[in-house]
């Protein structure tokens, strides 16, 4: 009689060896967000900026994994990630900014995103952060999840808008100032 495979999900802090998979999932997220040409980073950028080579740790990364046991074979594969970093608010002091939270489509609505978010929150609290901030595209169905768990839409409630100065503007402004 053949045994059915058993599956479990786990979230852990990423390692340098995970950055190839993270880079691939970043592209999947960009494709989902209809910004396929957006990511301009490499696996080496992630390894460097994640502090995996001993340099400054610019971001923290968490990996969601699927573990499958099929007979005597153990298979582990990454199915999601989150990237976070510190920011600072004069209103609340230290804050954690969640740049991405991504779960592969086949594993959505199975609690994996919640597990990743709980890990992000646990780390934010361990670091003494008062808030976890993030942005979500207006059409992304994840907005309903975030609002259901109590996230505040600052654009709607406080009128805050998220802006960015792109590299070409930075270059232009540094020569004009």
Q: DSSP of 19-78, one letter per residue? A: HHHHHHHHHHHHHHTT-TT-----HHHHHHHTTTTSS----EEEEEEEEEEETTEEEEEE
pTM over 0.85: yes
Of 88, 96, 102, 146, which one is the catalytic site residue? 146
What letters, b where the CB count within 10 A reaches 16 and e where it falls short, cover 93-121? Answer: eebbbbebbbbbeebbeeebbebbbebbe
Instruction: Express each pLDDT in 28-86 by its tens digit.
Output: 999 999 998 889 999 999 999 999 999 999 999 999 999 998 888 889 999 999 999 99
Tokens of 87: 């920011």
146 is catalytic: yes
Domains of the chain, first to last: 6-134 (3.40.630.30)
């Amino acid at each position: 009689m053949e045994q059915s495979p058993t599956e479990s999900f786990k979230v852990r802090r990423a390692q340098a060896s995970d950055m190839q998979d993270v880079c691939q999932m970043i592209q999947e997220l960009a494709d989902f967000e209809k910004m396929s040409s957006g990511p301009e980073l490499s696996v080496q950028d992630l390894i460097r900026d994640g502090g995996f080579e001993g340099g400054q740790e610019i971001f923290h990364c968490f990996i969601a994994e699927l573990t499958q046991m099929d007979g005597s074979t153990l298979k582990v594969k990454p199915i999601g990630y989150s990237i976070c970093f510190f920011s600072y608010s004069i209103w609340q002091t230290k804050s954690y900014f969640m740049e991405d939270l991504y779960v592969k489509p086949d594993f959505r609505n199975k609690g994996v995103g919640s597990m990743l978010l709980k890990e992000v929150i646990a780390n934010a609290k361990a670091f003494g952060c008062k808030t976890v901030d993030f942005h979500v595209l207006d059409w992304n169905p994840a907005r309903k999840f975030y609002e259901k768990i109590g996230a505040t839409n600052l654009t709607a409630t406080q009128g805050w808008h998220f802006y960015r100065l792109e590299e070409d503007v930075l270059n232009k402004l540094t020569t004009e100032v």
